[in-house]
Structure 1
Amino acid sequence: LHIYTLGKCMWNDIEGGKEVIKEAVEILNISKKLIEITHGEGNMVLENVKGLLEMAEKECERE
């Protein structure tokens, strides 16, 4: 969950620009993998990570 929180904080850094968004995507992907291993599929936390990751990836594609 700490890695997810880091990714979420980076995503919320509106002044960071595209580079921070790319880093947030990488961190959220790592977080997703860790949560899948420790909590299994379908967990509420995992769904939150996936939702934020999708949003960050779309933002990355736009820039």
Structure 2
Amino acid sequence: MAQDEGRLGRISIPKRAWAPPGVRPRALQQIIRQSSYVLAAVAPEQGLMTSLILPSADTVMMNLS
């Protein structure tokens, strides 16, 4: 059996924006991080795979199975 895990997510990065003269565009003040956790186990000899996509990787989430 093989196991792997990963964290996928996005980070909002404030960027430059066009605005007419005299108007100041709104800019994000905080970096927002959103992540999902993906865990997978594969048994190639049996041809089986199972995976979990979780909002967090804490004890409660790990004990779901």
| TM-score, scaled to structure 2 | 0.21
Report which of the two has the higher share of strand: 2
Point out which structure has higher relative CO (alpha carbons under 8 A, 6+ apart).
Answer: 1
| TM-score, scaled to structure 1 | 0.22
Report which of the two has the higher share of helix: 1
| Larger radius of gyration between Structure 1 and Structure 2 | 2
